[in-house]
Structure 1
Amino acid sequence: MALKKKSPDFLIFLSVLLLLGIGIIMVFSSSQYVAYYQTYDPGLKTGDAFVFLRRQLFNALLGIIAMVFVMKINYQKLKIFAKPGIIISFILLAVILIKGVGIEINGATRWLGVGPFQIQPSEIFKLALVLFLAKYLSERQHLMKSFKEGLLLPLALMGGACLLIMKQPDLGTAMTIAGTTIVMLWAAGARKSHLAMLVAAGLVLVVAAIVLEPYRMARIFAFLDPWQDPQDTGFQTVQSLLAIGSGGLAGVGLGYGRAKMFYLPERHTDFIFAVIAEELGFIGGTAVILLFLLFVWRGLKVAVSSPESFGSLLAVGVTSMVGIQAIINLGVVTGSLPVTGITLPFISYGGSSLLFSLAGVGLLLNVSRYAGSDR
């Protein structure tokens, strides 16, 4: 007997639309100055302050279309895409590392495409992994106490993907994928002892990855004391903290921030929250955080009230993916975590991140249409 369908969760939909709206406004505010005066990208014309706004509006439109499309399909029918999706996205992660194939930007090779038409395979993989794990774990919940039969394949996928993504390099996305996998394994019923060992092993690998790369060690020292070298290794963190601190309670006013005027790097992407805090103050920054908390709360409620395990694990996966990524980004921007490049979901400028994040929301809203219903 089919599940009864109802309206999607309104608060999830509202929180995402509000975050998306804030993002579009702040992408324009944070990018207009450098877009007008920019000289570092030969593909952009100097004097066009609206270039990033137009692109973000286009990205948002595509993302909303993807969200609505995914929301309308019965999520049970999406199971057929789980296996081919994870295989294709894994192959793309490997292909991107072939010399001459992947597009390198600021020393990182994370994109495939031609000219302005670029896509980030790691964003595809995040969503594909959630779909695959939801199907795989829901069919093997009776085996989750066994490391070999329940956990081995998910961990192999996670480990292989994280290694490929670290080669790009992209520590933030690798941490998001690892965190999402662990949360989904926990939700599926894995032993706490197994998860504790995995977390411990993961921390050892992260430390090793930091120690073996001089630039990551420099970031750790800059994290511990960014003011020791404020013009070099600590520059990003120092400028971010200055922007946040200058915002005060109510901010300096929308559009009146100074950090975006070539002081703060990545002002419209990874560090956009610093511009939000400067221009909208503690009130604006807190509002953004509360919207993310609302999203996570409602997402977990959908997971708990889902009538079957596949939908429940889908909801857990999407919610944890967005929540963990937001925590990492906010931690970096506020100096609570070492600098690593990762966007703030729904807010930062970026095509792939926004498109696949909104597609993930479509999955969550899809599950919410059946949450609490009877068969």
Structure 2
Amino acid sequence: MKKLLQNIKGDKVIWSVVVILSLFSLLLIYSTTDRLALEHNSTPFRFLISQIFYLILGLGTVYIFHKIKYTRFMKWSVYLFLASIPLLLYTLFFGTELNSGSRWISIPFVGVTIQTSDLAKLAIFTFLARQLSLKQKVIGDFWKGFFPVLFPVLVICGLIAPANLSTALLLGATCCFMFFIGRIPMKHILLLIVAGIGLVLCIFAISKLTGKGRGGTWQKRIEVFMGKNADADDTYQTDQANIAIANGKILGRGPGNSYAKNFLPHPYSDFVFAIVIEEYGLFGASVVMFCYLLFLWRSINIFRRCPYAFGAFLSIGLSFTLVFQAMINMAVAVHLVPVTGQTLPFISKGGSSIVFTAIAVGVILSVSRYVDEMEGKQQLVKQIEKEEQEKAALAAAQNNS
């Protein structure tokens, strides 16, 4: 164990946040899977073991990827981006349907399903970091600098949007943030926002005209959020989440004592933050939020310290999308935004989503490890130079005496 800890490099605060969120996840999964266990004629212990397995797999994935030199991801990003396009197309037309949307594909002979949008998020952010770093000298030019960066974003978001609009919007917003820190002119970013809105409206119109896709679902969710044409069935999830939040108060009802977990359809994934508030109160919810914000702050430090554009863009892009996803999940639970179906990273019940999140964290820690090693070498060089100067000064003083 001591040798393993010595081999763990990178930002220790980020490592600590990941471990804390993972441990917190185990408490919540064991607490919220009672009804799911009854449906499967099992016990919550089964789902706890499953979550332990995936979290151990996730931490192992973080460890493996943080040992890889981050510059390798620059080359791999091209292949990852190209591979994600046919996977998204296959998912869109032949994927497993969930709530009228094709979001998942099944791996043959294994019985495991993966959400290809998770892979696409990794692909677009690594590829976007590569493009931004390569185009810095011509970033102000529309065709030479901006369009090569914009096109892959439109492709990925356009393929994700018909089945999973919330993820597409999340990606688009994070990409706009990366464009801003990548010194792309604001007029180009505004053009992207307009193009994104136009793309969403086109997809919505086509869905409504053809009767295919999730246009009706999007419209219904917005109407329910606005309080229009909504009955008790439509507001059931948000009503139960509000009850859970009201019951939580400051310190909560205690671990495992949630009432809403027996009524919320997905208390272990989409609305897990409502259970956090009910069982651990405002205090527990604040701790969870603090962990994600601490994760983002440490990633920003990595971004500021990294001397190379690719590593800087890579760390800030991946960290921002993870934290933004967490904030959207929390906002849904407290009824600040319409229901989106986004999970809470490292806390919600999951399999492939935990692994892909772990890959992203591993890449961020890979950049951190390189920055730490580089700064360590620089400090060593400075120390050697200082010692040489002191020896030279001492020798000169002895000669003069």
Distance 1:104 1:279 in 2: 32
User: Is 1:279 the counterpart of 2:272 in the alignment?
Assistant: no
Render the CA deviation track for 1:41-97: whole Å, top value 9, x for unaligned: xxxx41322232222112112211111111001111222211111111121001112
Equivalence for 1:10: 12
CA contact (8 A) 2:269 2:349 kept: yes
Equivalence for 2:158: 163
Aligned pairs for 1:115-130 within 5 A: 116-130=111-125
Tell me, what secondary structure is at the counterpart of 2:276?
A: helix
Aligned pairs for 1:169-180 within 5 A: 169-180=163-174
State which of 43, 50, 60 in structure 2 corresponds to 1:48.
43
How far 1:159 sits from its partner (Å)? 1.7
User: Is 1:191 the counterpart of 2:185 in the alignment?
Assistant: yes
Equivalence for 1:90: 85
Aligned pairs for 1:20-59 within 5 A: 20-31=22-33, 33-38=34-39, 45-59=40-54
Distance 1:368 1:95 in 2: 35
Tell me the amino acid that sits aligned with residue 109 of structure 1.
S
Equivalence for 1:111: 104
User: Is 1:333 the counterpart of 2:333 in the alignment?
Assistant: yes
Q: Percent identity?
A: 32
Structure 1: gaps (5+ residues):
39-44
CA contact (8 A) 2:8 2:63 kept: no
Equivalence for 1:71: 66
Distance 1:77 1:170 in 2: 30
Tell me, what secondary structure is at the counterpart of 1:118?
A: strand
Tell me the TM-score normalized by structure 2: 0.84
- Measured on the aligned residues, the alpha-carbon RMSD in Å equals 2.1
Corresponding residue pairs, total: 359
Tell me the amino acid that sits aligned with residue 28 of structure 2.
M
Render the CA deviation track for 1:302-330: whole Å, top value 9, x for unaligned: 10110211110111111111122112211
State which of 148, 154, 159 in structure 1 corresponds to 2:149.
154
Higher RCO, 1 vs 2 (CA within 8 Å, ≥6 residues apart): 1
Tell me, what secondary structure is at the counterpart of 1:111?
A: strand
Distance 2:350 2:92 in 1: 21
Distance 1:275 1:209 in 2: 34
Higher relative helix content? 2
User: Is 1:136 the counterpart of 2:131 in the alignment?
Assistant: yes
Tell me, what secondary structure is at the counterpart of 1:231?
A: coil
Higher mean alpha-carbon deviation, 271-280 vs 318-327, is at: 318-327
Distance 1:8 1:328 in 2: 27
Q: Following superposition, which runs of at least 4 residues in structure 1 exceed 3 angstroms of deviation?
A: 203-212, 372-375
- Structure 1 residues 57 and 108, CA gap change in structure 2 (3 angstroms): farther
Equivalence for 1:356: 356
Render the CA deviation track for 1:210-261: whole Å, top value 9, x for unaligned: 67423222211211228x7352221111111111121111111110101111
Tell me the amino acid that sits aligned with residue 301 of structure 1.
N
Distance 1:56 1:309 in 2: 36
Structure 2: gaps (5+ residues):
1-6, 209-214, 379-401
Equivalence for 1:42: none
Distance 2:256 2:293 in 1: 26
Render the CA deviation track for 1:184-210: whole Å, top value 9, x for unaligned: 222211011211232244345446656
Equivalence for 2:342: 342
Tell me the TM-score normalized by structure 1: 0.90
Distance 2:336 2:36 in 1: 29
CA contact (8 A) 1:70 1:359 kept: yes
Higher mean alpha-carbon deviation, 149-158 vs 252-261, is at: 149-158
Equivalence for 2:236: 235
Tell me the amino acid that sits aligned with residue 25 of structure 1.
L
CA contact (8 A) 1:35 1:51 kept: no
Tell me the amino acid that sits aligned with residue 91 of structure 1.
P
